[in-house]
Amino acid sequence: MRKPLVAGNWKMFKLRAEAISLVKGIQDGLKGIDTGKVEVLVCPPYPWLEAVGSALRGSPILLGAQNAHEAKEGAFTGEVAVPMLKDAGCSYVIIGHSERRQHFGERGDRLHRKVRAVLEYGLKVIYCIGETLEEREAGRTEAVLERQIDEVLATDVDAARLVVAYEPVWAIGTGRTATTDQAQQAHVFIRGKLGGIFGLQVAQGLRIQYGGSVKPANAAGLLGQKDIDGALVGGACLAAGDFLAIIAAAVATAGGA
């Protein structure tokens, strides 16, 4: 059985006091939720990793980072290395988010190196894939997903520390969300593709999240799909009540995989 992972990607939001207040609100709300059935992760901006990590001590909530450089160290002004993130208390790193691809030109070879760097230093990786609206309307969704998987994932990746996040680019921050059927179909395709790389048994145990305007109103429908194993949440993770409602939906639908 795959335990759903609900991860909050805070992006470039929240000042320090706001970050601490948010995470404390999430902690308080989790007291009434069976956290044994779900894994919860928050990914604040770099400057607040240690402060949020300190606030999380003794909590079931995990700490993650939104990106990482592939080098162990070096003259890379403005970048952050995986060992630094590990030292700050991170257990997960998001790699390949569509905003990194779109705004910073990150592509296959670079993402290939980043994923391996995260795994080399013992952390888990959330590798994001997804198609644009133009690609979906042209009937190229599966071709795009296949390319994004093939250019980064291979048998040298430790599947036990890999999570794949399907995020249709056209649904990120737009208020549009894939229908439950669209999301499930994409997840089935992704799981089949991963089965070709890692073997069907491994792929059946590998978690695939959905991301893209996940909200309390649509969470239960999406998370209730057989092949959707949690959510990578953007805007809705910035309010404790909304994020908790999504976590509760994941708990309520857990066990269907």
Share of the chain above pLDDT 70, in %: 99
Query: pLDDT tens, 209-227?
Result: 999 889 999 999 999 999 9
Q: Which of 69, 97, 112, 187 is catalytic?
A: 97
Active site residue 18: no
Amino acid sitting at position 106 = E
Query: pLDDT tens, 114-148?
Result: 999 999 999 999 999 999 989 999 999 999 999 99
Could you give all domains of the chain from N- to C-terminal order, each with its CATH number? 5-253 (3.20.20.70)
Which candidate, 1, 2, 4, places its Cα nearest to that of 223?
Answer: 4
Active site residue 97: yes
| Predicted TM-score (pTM) of this structure | 0.96
Whether residue 152 has pLDDT greater than 90: yes
Task: Calculate the average pLDDT of the chain.
Answer: 96
Whether residue 185 has pLDDT greater than 80: yes
Which candidate, 2, 17, 75, 18, places its Cα nearest to that of 239?
Answer: 18
Judging by DSSP bridges, how do beta strands 162-166 and 62-65 pair with one another?
A: unpaired
Amino acid sitting at position 170 = W
Q: Which of 70, 112, 167, 187 is catalytic?
A: 167
Q: What's the sign of the alpha-carbon dihedral 77, 81, 87, 92?
A: positive
